[in-house]
Amino acid sequence: MNYDALIIGGGASGLAAACALSRRGRRVALLEKQNRVGRKLLSTGNGRCNLTNLNASAGNYHGSRQAAQAALRAWPPRRVMAFFEELGIPCTADEAGRVYPMSNQAASVLDALRLCCDEQGVDTRINFAVVRLERSGRGFEAVSQEGERVRGRCALVCTGGLAAPKLGASGEGYRLLEALGHGISPRFAAIAPLKTPPEAVRGLKGIRAEGELTLLVDGNDVRREAGEALFAEYGVSGIAAMQLARQAAEALRAGRRCALRLNFVPGEDAAKLLARRAEQLPARKLEDFLNGIVPKRLGQALVKAAGLDLTLAAGELKPGQLKKLADCLGGWTLPVTGTQDFDQAQVTAGGAILKDFDTRSMQSLRTPGLFAAGEVLDVDGDCGGFNLQWAWSSALMAAEGIDAIINGESGNR
Ligand SMILES: Cc1cc2nc3c(=O)[nH]c(=O)nc-3n(C[C@H](O)[C@H](O)[C@H](O)COP(=O)(O)OP(=O)(O)OC[C@H]3O[C@@H](n4cnc5c(N)ncnc54)[C@H](O)[C@@H]3O)c2cc1C
């Protein structure tokens, strides 16, 4: 059978495009290399699937902001929500604009997409790893690892990026696009934990503390995030730290110096707070002095970072010592030596370069009839629903582009 569209990759983008095209009556083959579609989707939003964000704007995106802007214009979050409503997934938003399915279950989002594909007759082929995508007459042929061939008029590459290889990311899509004339920009992990010298965080593994995290590049504040710092043996994780990873990775790649400043008492004057406390609890040993403000082990780490002896009593502290401790409580600064790799990242920065695509339709400018969408392209978003918003919106634009080609040709027959 000759399909109207070969969709390579049954993740977020591929499933959305398959639904949209099949609902318009197009014959679609969805080719997925794993033994099930949408595996990564199940893990999104801690199993709740943060599927878009009402406050999405180009500023939430990196790589080609222009492409992100075009996709937001064509498929803004409200239109994406309406798409899901039509599939039977009503959505709700939290105070930060993060949108979730009303069920709070990523599985229900995947089911809705899968059921739509089944109901509309999408030919879903699992265990079909596309190793080659060839031009064939006016269309394309996708070739599987086993040598099976599927033909289609248009092809949409949405094979994702390199993040979370355990969920199937492998990067073959880049090679498919390269073979058809596309450039690929360097890729690195974004939305990933930050690495610090391990001795700086020794003993803090598993400790969580609320605060304000600031990334410093060459001593200047470049981005601030409020939230939880989750300490690990290699550094700092948690959403707030992970949000800083892209800029940290970029700066480190450019040979610049990065540091993470942690303020555990945002909105408070740490010096006044500790001065009051020392007056109130003069006999309290420093090993317990910060108890109640931050977790005990973290409090002790801050005392050590201030160069103070844990056995000193608060009342014995000289003003300079109290200030050092306040500086650590309100601005503990750790060098950032890198970010964790793709296995702990949520998204890939870099990818297929957007100047080779018409960003109104995601059609290749190098190979007509070829489209791409989602993480395989050089767009990545902040944490908070922005990456799935890009995956859906770029895929739904591509579906419209493919539909227009088929429509134009059937009108000419
Ligand atoms: C743990 C985790 C949590 C996340 N949570 C969120 C969240 O809550 N909100 C949010 O916005 N973003 C989140 N993200 C990011 C989001 O999941 C991705 O940006 C999004 O899934 C990208 O969609 P995609 O379709 O481009 O790629 P994917 O969803 O990765 O799908 C690509 C598919 O292509 C298949 N494939 C690859 N190569 C081939 C081949 N050669 N042949 C056939 N098939 C192939 C893969 O097996 C895969 O199924 C999260 C990511 C992770 C890892």
Mean pLDDT of 327-349: 97
**Is 344 within a domain?**
no
From 15, 33, 40, 378, give the residue whose CB has the most ligand 1 atoms within 8 Å, as the site to mutate.
40
**pLDDT at 8 > cutoff 90:** yes
Please indicate, yes or no, whether residues 55 and 165 belong to a single structural domain of this protein. Answer: yes
Separation between Cα atoms, residue 151 and residue 412, nearest integer Å = 21
Separation between Cα atoms, residue 53 and residue 220, nearest integer Å = 29
What is the residue-wise DSSP string for 32-94?
Answer: -SSSSS-HHHHHGGGGT---EETT--GGGEEE-HHHHHHHHHHS-HHHHHHHHHHTT--EEE-
**Is 145 within a domain?**
yes
Mean pLDDT of 272-278: 96
Please indicate, yes or no, whether residues 198 and 183 belong to a single structural domain of this protein. Answer: no
Instruction: Please tell me the predicted confidence (pLDDT) of residue 170.
Output: 86
Please indicate, yes or no, whether residues 227 and 182 belong to a single structural domain of this protein. Answer: no
Residue 174 to residues 177, 308, 358, Cα–Cα distance (Å): 5, 53, 18
**pLDDT at 288 > cutoff 80:** yes
Asked which of 275, 307, 339 is the last residue of a domain, the reply is 339
Instruction: Please tell me the predicted confidence (pLDDT) of residue 117.
Output: 98
Domain that holds residue 286: 194-339
**Which tokens in the block code for residue 250?**
């970029």
Binding site membership of 391 for ligand 1 (Cβ less than 6 Å)? yes
Amino acid letter, residue 185: S
**Which atom of ligand 1 is least distant from the CA of 172?**
41
Mean pLDDT of 76-99: 97
- Band (353; pLDDT cuts 50, 70, 90): very high
From 30, 44, 146, 243, give the residue whose CB has the most ligand 1 atoms within 8 Å, as the site to mutate.
44
Give the pairing type, strands 149-157 and 370-372: parallel
Percent of the chain scoring above 90 in pLDDT: 97
Please indicate, yes or no, whether residues 151 and 11 belong to a single structural domain of this protein. Answer: yes
Compute, in angstroms, the gap from residue 111 CA to the centroid of ligand 1. 16
Beta bridge partners of 40: none
What's the total number of domains in the chain? 2
**Is 29 within a domain?**
yes
Please indicate, yes or no, whether residues 300 and 366 belong to a single structural domain of this protein. Answer: no
